[in-house]
Amino acid sequence: MRQVTRQFKAPAVVGWVALLLVLHTGGSAEAMQATDQERVTIQGRVIDEVTRVPLAGVVVYFVQLGVSIQTDSRGQFEVKGLLKGVYELDLELGGYQRTAGEFAVVGDGSFVISMTPLKFAVEAPPGRFVGRITDESRKPVASVEVQIPALFMGGVTNGAGRFDIPTVPPGRYAVEFSSLGPATRVDTVEIVSGQTSDVKVRLSLDPLDIEPIEVVVEPREMILEDVGFYQRRTDGFGKFIDRAVIEARNPYEMTDLFVGINGVFLVQDPYSGMEQNIVLRGGRLGRGLRGGGHCYPQVVVDGLIVHRGGEFPAHIDQLVDTDAVAGIEIFPSSIGVPTQYGGVDAACGVIVIWTRR
C-alpha cells in the first residue's frame, strides 16, 4: 500500500506535484472516489525547468482515467468535474524528459509543473541524493528502501539510517521510502545539477502523523561526501571547514583558517619566532616536555596519519597549501574523533585534512 504525504492547496506555487500530494490512510484512487463524490476543478501550468517559459502542446495524461489534455499557448490546462482521489499524471513533450508522478486531489486549486529539456538533462552534471531516515522516536531506521521509480534508481539505509544515491540526473522526482512496519511514504524531491540534496525523513506507523521532509540542497565536494565529511558534520562532533569557507576567508597560510575557532589556540613555535603552531583544547595544558609544555594534535591528510602529535608540533603551514585543501575536520579533544584516528595519539585532539582531487 502506498502512502503519499502532502496536500493539494491553492494558491499556485512553483514545483512539480509537491502541492498535489496528500496524506491518506489507505485504499486505491477508485476507493477514494467511491466514498467521496464531490467534484472539483484544477488548473495546471507547465513550464521549462531551465528558462521558466510556459510550454504549449504538452500532453498531460491522467493514467487511471485514460484521458489526456494538451496545454494551450500559455502552457495551461484545466480539468473540471474531477472527483477527489489519487491519480497518476504523465507529461510528454518532444525535446523534454518525460515527467510522471502520483498525486491526490482534495479540492479546487492550481499548480505549476516544470519539465527538463533533454539537452539540459544530458549535459548537466548529475546531482547526489543522500539522507537520514528515523522512526517516530527519532531513532535511525536501517534497511529502508529508497526508490526513484521514474529513474529505476534507489538505495537502502545503513545501520545509521543513512542512504546515498551518488549520480542522479537533475530534476524533480517522486521518491518512495518503504520499510516493514512503518507506512510507506512518497515525497517529491528536487535533484540539482552538481549539488547534493540532503533529506531528513521520518517514518511512522500512523501515516497521518508523518512530518514533512526536510531538504537541504547545497554544493558539496564529492571527495568530502565520499569520506563522510558531511555526515560527521551533521552528527555534531568537531569543527568543520569546507571549501566555501576557505575561499571566503582567503587565508595566507593554513594556520589563518584556525583563527577564532572555539577550542583552537595558536601558540608561538618554541624554535622559530616567526611561526605559529596549533594546539587544541585536549592538549592545552600539555603533557609534553618540549614545545612549551603543550601537547600537539595528531594530523591526518587524506586518511593517512602524517603526524602523531604529542610534544612536537606538525608545522601545518609547511604541510599543505591552502589552495589544495577541500576540507578540514577539527576535533579539539578525543570526543567524536573517527574511530580510525582514535587511540592514545588522539588524546590531544585531531586535525583531519582532505585535499582536492
| Cα distance between residue 197 and residue 189, in whole Å | 8
CATH of 125-219, one of 3.40.50.40, 2.60.40.1120, 3.30.2270.10, 3.10.180.10: 2.60.40.1120
Sorted by sequence, the CB contacts under 8 Å of residue 318 that are 6+ apart come out as: none
Indicate the range of 24-33, 75-84, 226-235, 259-268 predicted with least confidence. Answer: 24-33
Rounded average pLDDT over 344-355: 90
Strands 39-48 and 76-83: antiparallel
Class of domain 17-120: mainly beta
The pLDDT assigned to 122 comes to 58
Indicate the range of 11-20, 114-123, 298-307, 319-328 predicted with least confidence. Answer: 11-20
In the chain, how many H helices and how many E strands?
Answer: 6, 22
The pLDDT assigned to 76 comes to 93
Rounded average pLDDT over 30-56: 75
The pLDDT assigned to 31 comes to 39
Phi, psi (rounded to 5 degrees) for 20 = -95, -10
Strongest mean pLDDT among 32-36, 253-257, 281-285: 253-257
Which DSSP letter does residue 308 get? -
Q: Which residues pair with 76 in a beta bridge?
A: 45
Per the CB < 8 A criterion, the answer to whether 118 and 95 are in contact is yes
The whole-chain average pLDDT of the chain stands at 81
Rounded average pLDDT over 225-236: 86
Rounded average pLDDT over 316-345: 88
Q: Is 46 exposed, middle or buried (0-12, 13-18, 19+ CB in 10 A)?
A: buried
**Would you tell me how many other CB atoms lie within 10 Å of the CB of residue 301?**
19
The pLDDT assigned to 225 comes to 86
The pLDDT assigned to 13 comes to 29
In the chain, where does the domain assigned CATH 2.170.130.10 lie? 234-355
Q: Is 191 exposed, middle or buried (0-12, 13-18, 19+ CB in 10 A)?
A: buried
pLDDT digits (tens, 9 = 90+) for 169-224: 888 888 999 988 777 888 888 888 888 899 999 988 766 666 788 888 877 888 88
Buried b (16+ CB within 10 A) or exposed e, 202-214: bbbeebeebeebe
Strands 298-301 and 350-355: parallel
Domain covering 234-355 assigned CATH 2.170.130.10 in the classification = yes
Considering only residues 111 and 55, tell me which one the structure prediction assigns the higher pLDDT: 55
The pLDDT assigned to 53 comes to 87
Rounded average pLDDT over 302-312: 89
Per the CB < 8 A criterion, the answer to whether 341 and 352 are in contact is yes
Residue 152 has pLDDT above 60, yes or no: yes
| Percent share of the chain, pLDDT over 70 | 83
Considering only residues 256 and 95, tell me which one the structure prediction assigns the higher pLDDT: 256
| Cα distance between residue 106 and residue 328, in whole Å | 49
In the chain, where does the domain assigned CATH 2.60.40.1120 lie? 17-120, 125-219
pLDDT digits (tens, 9 = 90+) for 194-208: 888 999 999 887 666
Tell whether omega for the bond before 149 is within 30 degrees of 0, i.e. cis. Answer: no
pLDDT tier at 254 (50, 70, 90 boundaries)? very high
Considering only residues 23 and 203, tell me which one the structure prediction assigns the higher pLDDT: 203
The pLDDT assigned to 215 comes to 84
Find the helix or strand (DSSP H, E) in which 279 lies. strand 276-280
**Would you tell me how many other CB atoms lie within 10 Å of the CB of residue 298?**
28
| Cα distance between residue 118 and residue 310, in whole Å | 57
pTM of the model: 0.54
Rounded average pLDDT over 223-236: 86
Residue 301 has pLDDT above 50, yes or no: yes
| Cα distance between residue 153 and residue 165, in whole Å | 8
The pLDDT assigned to 175 comes to 92
pLDDT digits (tens, 9 = 90+) for 96-120: 888 887 777 788 888 888 888 887 6
Rounded average pLDDT over 71-92: 88
pLDDT tier at 283 (50, 70, 90 boundaries)? confident
Return the C-alpha cell found at 354. 582532505
* Positions of E strands within 71-161: 76-83, 85-92, 99-105, 109-115, 127-134, 145-148, 153-156
